[in-house]
């Protein structure tokens, strides 16, 4: 078994969600595709993929193996490109979409260093909290804060995000402290318009799930606007610590329901499959990951 070739086949199957599509992309037969996956599973001693009548499912072991495969194959492609036309590959425009609140605080300060390292790369950056269409808007890469990326896009995790329930001391003094998620029904809540959970907030405590429909008195598509409303005592909000860490440290905002855990989020670098061989995209992703981990 050519292990490297088998890894490439496995990656293509997961990315496309289909043996047939992977075979077409790699210009090999469907039988060769199936044989590579079977050889991999036999070599590893685990099931990587499960077929159902409706979909191709990646097992837990398969997901872990897929992530490592992507890292290995990307590094190999990166090394090969560096050995060839590295200078030419690091020229041209890089069009980036970043969420406004996160981008302003954590990406924008890093851009001068990236441009100094790669002076031939021209940056075109758009700050917006809405999810962009890559084809329609001609973006090369997007930074997204999400609980997961369910699409055909390639997603690289950059850092974890912790979201907390918070309110100002003035609001708490006026309306009291909620002790359980169910208590939120009697409070004014502030909603982030782009949040997939909407006005249905889900928490976990000791393995038990608590779901509550809150009453939203204020809604905005801007995380910064939600923060200001929360600071002003308008209500209770779920906010990421990358946005309100300083407010929590200073006491301008108070963390509530500390024993309850909200959904886990991550910051991802997301780009179309055709961008996996772009040296500019890989360089930007690697740069961001290193810088954010060091922060």
Tell me: pLDDT of 87 over 60.
no
Annotation: CATH topology of 163-264: D-Maltodextrin-Binding Protein; domain 2 (3.40.190)
Which tokens in the block code for residue 16? 């496309």
Q: 88-158+266-294 and 163-264 share one CATH topology? A: yes
Instruction: Taking the CA atoms of 221, 227, 229 and 233 in sequence, report the sign of the dihedral they define.
Output: positive
Radius of gyration of the chain (CA): 22
**If pLDDT is split at 50, 70 and 90, which confidence band does 115 have?**
very high
Which tokens in the block code for residue 232? 């002003």
Annotation: CATH topology of 3-83: Arc Repressor Mutant, subunit A (1.10.10)
Q: How many CB atoms lie within 10 A of CB 157?
A: 12
Residue-wise pLDDT for 11-61, tens only, equals 999 998 889 889 998 999 989 999 999 999 999 999 999 887 677 889 999
pTM: 0.66
Nearest-angstrom CA–CA distance, 245 and 251: 10
Tell me: pLDDT of 100 over 70.
yes
Q: Residue ranges of the domains in the chain?
A: 3-83, 88-158+266-294, 163-264
Q: What is the pLDDT of residue 241?
A: 92
Tell me: pLDDT of 277 over 80.
no
The secondary structure of 108-146 as a DSSP string is GGGHHHHHHH-TTEEEEEEE-SSPPPHHHHT-SEEEEEE
**What number is the average pLDDT over the span 224-233?**
96
Tell me: pLDDT of 84 over 70.
no
Beta strand ranges found along 56-192 (DSSP E): 56-58, 92-98, 121-127, 141-146, 154-161, 163-167, 188-192
Judged by average pLDDT, the poorest of 92-101, 141-150, 180-189, 251-260 is 141-150
**If pLDDT is split at 50, 70 and 90, which confidence band does 146 have?**
confident
Judged by average pLDDT, the poorest of 136-140, 226-230, 254-258, 278-282 is 136-140
Q: What is the pLDDT of residue 53?
A: 66
**What number is the average pLDDT over the span 88-95?**
78
Give, in words, the CATH class of 88-158+266-294: alpha beta
**What number is the average pLDDT over the span 258-267?**
88
Q: What is the pLDDT of residue 257?
A: 94
**What number is the average pLDDT over the span 68-79?**
89
């Amino acid at each position: 078994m050519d292990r490297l070739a088998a890894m490439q086949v496995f990656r293509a199957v997961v990315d496309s969600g289909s043996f047939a599509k992977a075979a077409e992309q790699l210009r090999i037969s469907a039988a060769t595709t199936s044989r590579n996956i079977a050889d991999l599973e036999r070599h590893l001693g685990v099931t990587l993929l499960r077929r159902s009548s409706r979909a191709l499912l990646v097992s837990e072991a398969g997901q872990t193996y897929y992530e490592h495969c992507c890292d290995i194959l990307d590094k190999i492609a990166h090394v090969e490109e560096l050995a060839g036309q590295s200078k030419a590959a690091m020229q041209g425009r890089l069009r980036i979409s970043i969420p406004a609140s996160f981008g302003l605080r954590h990406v924008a300060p890093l851009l001068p260093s990236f441009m100094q390292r790669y002076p031939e790369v021209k940056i075109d950056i758009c700050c917006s909290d809405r999810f962009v269409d890559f084809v329609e808007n001609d973006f090369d890469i997007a930074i997204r804060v999400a609980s997961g990326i369910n699409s055909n896009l390639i997603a690289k995790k950059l850092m974890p995000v912790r979201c907390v329930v918070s309110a100002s001391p003035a609001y708490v003094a006026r309306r009291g402290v909620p002790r359980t998620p169910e208590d939120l029904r009697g409070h004014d809540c502030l909603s982030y318009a782009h949040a997939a959970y909407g006005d249905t907030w889900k928490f976990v405590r000791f393995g038990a799930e608590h779901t509550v429909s809150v009453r939203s008195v204020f809604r905005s598509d801007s995380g910064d606007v939600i923060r200001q409303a929360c600071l002003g005592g308008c209500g209770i909000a779920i906010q990421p610590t990358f946005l309100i860490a300083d407010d929590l440290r200073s006491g301008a905002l108070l963390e509530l329901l500390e024993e309850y855990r909200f959904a886990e989020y991550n910051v991802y670098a997301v780009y179309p499959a055709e961008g996996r061989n772009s040296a500019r995209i890989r360089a930007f992703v690697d740069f961001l990951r290193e810088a954010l981990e060091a922060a």
